[in-house]
Amino acid sequence: MAGKVKWVTDIEKSVLINNFEKRGWVQVTENEDWNFYWMSVQTIRNVFSVETGYRLSDDQIVNHFPNHYELTRKDLMVKNIKRYRKELEKEGSPLAGKDESGKYLYLDFVPVTYMLPADYNLFVEEFRKSPSSTWIMKPCGKAQGKGIFLINKLSQIKKWSRDSKTSSFVSQSNKEAYVISLYINNPLLIGGRKFDLRLYVLVSTYRPLRCYMYKLGFCRFCTVKYTPSTSELDNMFVHLTNVAIQKHGEDYNHIHGGKWTVSNLRLYLESTRGKEVTSKLFDEIHWIIVQSLKAVAPVMNNDKHCFECYGYDIIIDDKLKPWLIEVNASPSLTSSTANDRILKYNLINDTLNIAVPNGEIPDCKWNKSPPKEVLGNYEILYDEELAQGDGADRELRSRQGQSLGPRAGRSRDSGRAVLTTWK
């Protein structure tokens, strides 16, 4: 296996390029023979599209799954999770258990969401049930907080209602698809400010599911104090935590960038709320990430040339319940502060160590099971193969599930037994 790895990228970011160069890899163009291509999401669409796509050879690896949008588009993610829940319910799985009010006990981690304009009527029904609620409108295909706004009156989204009432032959594509979700107006506040969590999750294969969580996630704080008051619904500095938005605020600070490490958050929560509830919170966060991956696993094209590093956005409410807001296929590699740069550099470094073992020319037929030493700052989040391993080897399984996986104390014990035999 001699020869240096040839790489291409269409994302010109130093954290990437430095990592390639430090491994002694050789840069080539996409028309030449390449081994490793860090693509943007547009490119991946072309590579795998029916018309223009081409076959990848065994020594070529790319950083996206062909239909990643099943997880990373807001509307499809919700659709897949809803479908997954229904399937579990049909099978009578205890994971799909509900409480008295009909809410899922373990799988209620996405705020109530509808597609517009398709589900407009369903949405109106729900809206009327709690007319004082606030909802958040997000365009399906955009990122960085673009095009998002909050509403608390039906009149504010009149134009989607007009479309749905017109003939169903009106093409949906000229009106951009939106999702509308119940806005979490009781987020956990620290120092009076709203924040969200950005966690990095690496998936090397979907079937069997093998995913890793990066230990060094961070919290993004708003620069302005949070207020649920309706007069401030238009003030995106209060509500949206995306750095792309916050950095235009008056108070944005370039030294810390309004970010905290997850370990800081943990310290704060343990000190002020206690260890049990903090551990429970983090266990739940791991749980919802794994469940979201399991939800899309059946529909995901598990191409062996692919791996993917997702950016998970999670919000914690004031009852310490985590909510999955969205998953990003192309988490930002721009660094807003010095610490940021170091973090993202290390993230890519560890990702490459896992995806391209030993930094040598890859063979996509390998078993995708890296040795523990190369994980770096990643921890195994869930490994389906190990979890399904020898029934006799419960020890291994429980330790596997224990390292970061969902801790199934309480009444979920039966749930975990099911989990480990889940295919």
In the numeric block, which tokens belong to residue 56?
């990848």
Least distance to other proteins, CB of residue 347, Å: 18
Q: How far apart, in whole angstroms, are the C-alpha atoms of residue 62 and residue 30? A: 12
Least distance to other proteins, CB of residue 312, Å: 22
Residues in touch with other proteins (CB under 8 A): 190-193, 221, 224-225, 250-251, 253, 255-256, 258, 260, 263-264, 267-268, 270-272, 274-275, 278, 339
In one-letter notation, the amino acid at residue 169 is F
Residue whose CB is less far from other proteins, 62 or 224: 224
Q: How far apart, in whole angstroms, are the C-alpha atoms of residue 251 and residue 258? A: 10
Least distance to other proteins, CB of residue 227, Å: 10
Residue whose CB is less far from other proteins, 175 or 193: 193
Least distance to other proteins, CB of residue 211, Å: 21
Residue whose CB is less far from other proteins, 133 or 339: 339
Q: What angle do CA 69, 422, 367 make, to 5 degrees?
A: 70
Least distance to other proteins, CB of residue 404, Å: 13
Instruction: Tell me the C-alpha to C-alpha distance, in Å, between residue 69 and each of 14, 65, 193, 327, 330.
Output: 26, 9, 31, 9, 11
In the numeric block, which tokens belong to residue 398?
């429980």
Residue whose CB is less far from other proteins, 278 or 420: 278
Least distance to other proteins, CB of residue 377, Å: 14
Residue whose CB is less far from other proteins, 71 or 224: 224
Residue whose CB is less far from other proteins, 165 or 275: 275
Q: What angle do CA 152, 154, 160 make, to 5 degrees?
A: 120
Least distance to other proteins, CB of residue 389, Å: 24
Q: Which residues contact 316 (CB under 8 A, 6 or more apart)?
A: 187, 188, 197, 281, 322, 323
Instruction: Tell me the C-alpha to C-alpha distance, in Å, between residue 271 and each of 221, 277, 286, 349, 395.
Output: 20, 11, 21, 33, 32
Q: What angle do CA 363, 209, 15 make, to 5 degrees?
A: 60
Please, which contacts does 267-275 make with residues 24 or more away whose CB atoms are closer than 8 Å?
268/190, 269/320, 273/320
ω into 117 cis (within 30 of 0): yes
Least distance to other proteins, CB of residue 224, Å: 7
Residue whose CB is less far from other proteins, 149 or 268: 268
Q: What 3-state DSSP class applies to 414?
A: helix
Q: Answer whether 285's CB lies under 8 Å from 265's CB.
A: no
Closest to 211 in 3D by CA, of 79, 351, 74: 351
Q: Answer whether 120's CB lies under 8 Å from 161's CB.
A: yes
Instruction: Tell me the C-alpha to C-alpha distance, in Å, between residue 33 and each of 4, 37, 59, 297.
Output: 12, 11, 10, 31
Residue whose CB is less far from other proteins, 18 or 337: 337
Residue whose CB is less far from other proteins, 61 or 381: 381
| Residue 75 backbone class (left: φ over 0; alpha: ψ -120 to 50; beta: rest) | alpha
Least distance to other proteins, CB of residue 117, Å: 39
Least distance to other proteins, CB of residue 275, Å: 4
Least distance to other proteins, CB of residue 245, Å: 17
Residue whose CB is less far from other proteins, 133 or 279: 279
Q: Which residues contact 218 (CB under 8 A, 6 or more apart)?
A: 197, 198, 259, 260, 261, 262, 343
Residue whose CB is less far from other proteins, 25 or 214: 214
